[in-house]
Structure 1
Amino acid sequence: MNSQDTQLIGVLARADSTASSLSGLLAGLLSRFAERGFPLYLVGGSVRDAMLGRLGHDLDFTTPARPVVVKEILEEWAETVWDTGIDFGTVSAAFKGQQIEITTFRADTYDGDSRNPEVVYGDTLEGDLIRRDFKVNAMAIELRADGTSQFHDPMGGLQDLAAGVLDTPAAPEVSFHDDPLRMLRAARFVSQLEFRVADRVLAAMHEMAGEIQRITVERVHAELDKLMCGVAPWDGIDVLVDTGIADYVFPEISALHMTPDEHAQHKDVYAHSLTVLRQAVEQEEDGPDLVLRWAALLHDIGKPDTRDTSSGKVTFHHHEVVGAKLARRRLKKLKYPKAIIEEIGQLVYLHMRFHGFGENQWTDSAVRRYVTDAGELLPRLHKLVRADCTTRNERKARRLQRTYDELVHRIEVLEEQEDLARVRPDLDGNEIMRILGLSPGPEVGQAWAFLKEQRLEHGPLDREEAIAKLRQWWESK
């Protein structure tokens, strides 16, 4: 018995164990379907994840029963039922912590212009499975109330799963023409499952990359987030860049592929960015951090626009400023929430601040400004800056880490002495107005900004010193 046969036995055993446990949990549901003469199949990603030992609390089922019948059965059995997807043949329910979606067999047709199918109900399980995106998602397990089950794999998904391959049930050109979103899903599954894409699928993705423009930005955004939160997002991004799909959905990432000048060499910025992403992920403590991951991938996207070789050496002056603008602009086009756009943009903007100082060169003022500008992003900024060290020169790497360790220590020391998380002027607006005899207006804001600058530069001032500096500033105006 070879290793693949052994692996097949293992995944089938996991699937069988999952089927047995679900048959017990869902016995009431299964018996109701059986009484009406309808089978019920665990299907798609639920079967795949069961075989991989990673099944969650969202269960997908298919059945020949029409949606009206499915809804009636669920309302008899489930704790909660909702039918927001009923136009597409899907009814959802919740039962003992499980979210269940049951979709009637489908045999849809597509118009070739949008990804919205004309919903056509099917009559066979095989007809339903062949319309799915990938073979590994085209397997089904019929669950029965007596605890038995039957595995169905007409497309050969089990072999692909054991080999870690993503291939389409039908010709990939047909599949992607029907629904171009499947190309993004291929990259997403590379990230989530660490599978590779079959050669014929990669070729079709490259040939049909422009078809992704038929997909709404909201759907692109959702798939990109799932990709970025996978276990290997760098591999998923690589698929998008290599096939040319990134040229349409996030061209600034593709642009990181810059050809080094013969006489002014620089590291491969694209490869560096993927390494920084990987190293940022390695520092995560509580699961995927979407903001940190995007910032790590995008931290150098300003380099193509700032590349300069006029001095005989390649430079990228102010690439963090340009990069922050580019990141904000692209994420806005992809309709990311404003708060996330700002956080990612600010991390890109700040990632070079550390490199403006060397060992033993951080003044108290510089430390205060670093912490204040980062604000709540400081823990992420620490991780991003550390991840940005990809040099193969071990001595340089140790020096950079030592310098950053020193900065973190300085922050901790000042934090014990001052409230760095909330650096504010030593006088509030009401005191400023009373001392200077002002009414509310822009001059109060200017005075407040002056005092905050003094606080950052000199640390906490006692009240009399703060008043003296304020009066001196006012008189100089």
Structure 2
Amino acid sequence: MKILTDEELAQVLDKDIFRRISTAADKLGVDCYVVGGYVRDIFLERPSNDIDVVVVGSGISVASELKQMLGRKARLTVFRNFGTAQVKFRDIEVEFVGARRESYSHDSRKPVVEDGTLEDDQNRRDFTINAMAVCLNSDRFGELVDPFDGIYDLEDRIICTPLDPDVTFSDDPLRMLRCIRFATQLNFHIEDETFAALERNAHRIKIISGERIKDELNKIMMTPTPSRGFVDLQRCGLLNLILPELAALDIVEMRNNRGHKNNFYHTLEVLDNVCRRSDNLWLRWAALMHDVGKTRSKRWDAVAGWTFHNHNIIGAKMVPAVFRRLMLPLDAKMKYVQRLVDLHMRPIVIADEVVTDSAVRRLMSDAGDDIDDLMTLCEADITSKNEVRKKRFLENFRVVREKLTDLKEKDYKRLLQPCIDGNEIMEMFHLRPCREVGTLKQTLKDAVLDNRVPNEREPLMALLMEKAREMGLA
């Protein structure tokens, strides 16, 4: 972080776009300020493309004047219902809004808006670090207006609200998720009273749509260490309201002095491990969801202790409900997450035994194009504190990857599907789609994957007829 004087801020903002905004505001005789994230990121020395400008007066008028100055290459979009406007010029986007004050009803996050002063506008901001403003008028160009000492909160790496946090969060409960998201993105701490307000107001999140929640969760997921955000969500009670399937993993049950690991913190460790390996959002979601089936599959066995048999299958079946509730895509992205959750135990089982070509062929066939991501997830899932066991698993995973590479190079993928398909089987035995057709197809596929029969028509036909006779079909 870098503390800047007003003169230094003026130098930072000495760019064509800000000088033109300054000229437009002066021409119209209104006060004009750049605010919010752009100002915050100047001090944090972070790149920012979001330029928000507050006008004490009509933001639309200043935007229109700027458009006239920039000419035909600039595009102006006006949102009169909201009193805002946007100007796009080359790769720059500037949002204009008139300074305003807001008041809220208890059952909605949509405020009643009135014209206001700069002070009113800063009062309505979510956090002190987002409430700073820098004047763009020529006589005060570069002057910082920081009534809530946001600059010191930046310096101390603290997230807190400008006014009473209970009012801030109750008025617009989405701000609770934004609070945790900013703390996670910036690696800041949430001030104690602000965090206590998160706990007191968590129930208010129920009035926020799944789509808005999804947007904030995805931003947390795309940070370098999303576990920070999910721990805060759990601590303040929000997680149980938006992702109860994940929150339910935060338990260690003891019986006969034998307990299982805390699967919530294990999941977050796996998620962070994946984030170090990949920036794929949906692979990160697969990591977050990979063990959600453990709560429903947990059983006590007097000999084996705690077991979680088929938690991968149960977890995969839980994915659609979570995606539907959070308005996440229900297309191929959801299917991808389901597939990885379903298959995430397979490489571990292979790596716990002798790594055979047959087992790797089957895994490759079932995972398809997602095989590399599945291996990344499974390697991230090795969080054992037993270094000897961990080293053995990772070494076996290396062998699995080598075999996968060899099989790809030999174009095995092309050969994994038997050359006799289901349509031909139905035609041969005068069957409609049914269980018998599936059994015959699986018999041929198993034989090819196990390398017991070459993927050639004549030997496969012989095997097919033999199996059909056993089933009374021929």
Q: Which amino acid aligns with 2:76?
A: V
Match of 2:272 among 274, 278, 290: 278
Cross-structure match for 2:315: 323
Q: Does 1:456 align with 2:452?
A: no
Question: Which whole-Å deviations, capped at 9, do the CAs of 1:94-147 have from their partners, x for residues lacking one?
Answer: 11201211111110111121100112121x212101111000000011235699
Cross-structure match for 2:299: 308
Cross-structure match for 1:28: 20
Question: Which whole-Å deviations, capped at 9, do the CAs of 1:67-111 have from their partners, x for residues lacking one?
Answer: 44134224323612223x442222112112012111111101111
Question: Does the CA contact (< 8 Å) of 2:348 and 2:378 recur in 1?
Answer: no
Question: Which whole-Å deviations, capped at 9, do the CAs of 1:344-378 have from their partners, x for residues lacking one?
Answer: 22211111112323456233332122112222222
Cross-structure match for 2:222: 229
Could you tell me how far apart the structure 2 residues matched to 1:18 and 1:395 are?
59
1:44-443 aligned within 5 A: 44-76=36-68, 77=70, 79-83=74-78, 85-122=79-116, 124-144=117-137, 148-262=141-255, 263-284=257-278, 288-311=279-302, 313-338=305-330, 339-358=332-351, 361-420=354-413, 423-427=416-420, 436=428
| Structure-2 change in CA distance of 1:186 and 1:421 (3 Å) | farther
Could you tell me how far apart the structure 2 residues matched to 1:228 and 1:19 are?
35
Question: Which whole-Å deviations, capped at 9, do the CAs of 1:5-44 have from their partners, x for residues lacking one?
Answer: xx5xx24279946863553344333312221112331111
Tell me, what secondary structure is at the counterpart of 1:401?
helix
Question: Does the CA contact (< 8 Å) of 2:350 and 2:359 recur in 1?
Answer: no
Shift of 1:441: 6.4
Tell me, what secondary structure is at the counterpart of 2:277?
coil
| Structure-2 change in CA distance of 1:322 and 1:53 (3 Å) | same
Question: Does the CA contact (< 8 Å) of 1:374 and 1:381 recur in 2?
Answer: yes
Does 246-255 or 355-364 show the bigger shift? 355-364
| Structure-2 change in CA distance of 1:402 and 1:441 (3 Å) | closer
Does 379-388 or 336-345 show the bigger shift? 336-345
Question: Does the CA contact (< 8 Å) of 2:38 and 2:51 recur in 1?
Answer: yes
Tell me, what secondary structure is at the counterpart of 1:232?
coil
Could you tell me how far apart the structure 1 residues matched to 2:286 and 2:301 are?
29
| Structure-2 change in CA distance of 1:292 and 1:315 (3 Å) | same
Does 325-334 or 425-434 show the bigger shift? 425-434
Q: Which amino acid aligns with 1:171?
A: D
Question: Does the CA contact (< 8 Å) of 1:372 and 1:421 recur in 2?
Answer: no
Question: Which whole-Å deviations, capped at 9, do the CAs of 1:255-292 have from their partners, x for residues lacking one?
Answer: 111133051222221221111111111112xxx32112
Does 145-154 or 179-188 show the bigger shift? 145-154
Aligned residues: CA RMSD: 2.7
Instruction: Provide the aligned length of Structure 1 versus Structure 2.
Output: 463
If the length of structure 1 is used for normalisation, what is the TM-score? Answer: 0.89
Question: Does the CA contact (< 8 Å) of 1:67 and 1:86 recur in 2?
Answer: no
Tell me, what secondary structure is at the counterpart of 2:122?
helix
Question: Does the CA contact (< 8 Å) of 1:371 and 1:421 recur in 2?
Answer: no
Could you tell me how far apart the structure 2 residues matched to 1:61 and 1:186 are?
22
Could you tell me how far apart the structure 1 residues matched to 2:457 and 2:260 are?
52
**Fraction of identical pairs, as percent:** 34
Could you tell me how far apart the structure 2 residues matched to 1:204 and 1:232 are?
24
Could you tell me how far apart the structure 2 residues matched to 1:264 and 1:223 are?
38
Match of 1:41 among 33, 40, 43: 33
Question: Which whole-Å deviations, capped at 9, do the CAs of 1:416-457 have from their partners, x for residues lacking one?
Answer: 2233278322245776678x3869966877765554444333
| Structure-2 change in CA distance of 1:159 and 1:212 (3 Å) | same
Question: Does the CA contact (< 8 Å) of 2:86 and 2:94 recur in 1?
Answer: yes
Residue ranges of structure 1 left out of the alignment (5+ in a row): 1-6
Could you tell me how far apart the structure 2 residues matched to 1:151 and 1:67 are?
20
Q: Which amino acid aligns with 2:280?
A: D
Could you tell me how far apart the structure 2 residues matched to 1:372 and 1:70 are?
60
Question: Does the CA contact (< 8 Å) of 1:24 and 1:147 recur in 2?
Answer: no
Could you tell me how far apart the structure 2 residues matched to 1:421 and 1:136 are?
56
Question: Does the CA contact (< 8 Å) of 1:29 and 1:74 recur in 2?
Answer: yes
Question: Does the CA contact (< 8 Å) of 2:126 and 2:161 recur in 1?
Answer: yes
If the length of structure 2 is used for normalisation, what is the TM-score? Answer: 0.90
Could you tell me how far apart the structure 2 residues matched to 1:373 and 1:18 are?
59
Could you tell me how far apart the structure 1 residues matched to 2:295 and 2:194 are?
30
Question: Which whole-Å deviations, capped at 9, do the CAs of 1:34-69 have from their partners, x for residues lacking one?
Answer: 211123311111111222122322211111231441
Question: Does the CA contact (< 8 Å) of 2:109 and 2:173 recur in 1?
Answer: yes
Shift of 1:235: 0.6
Shift of 1:225: 0.9
Q: Which amino acid aligns with 2:387?
A: E
Shift of 1:468: 2.8
Residue ranges of structure 2 left out of the alignment (5+ in a row): none
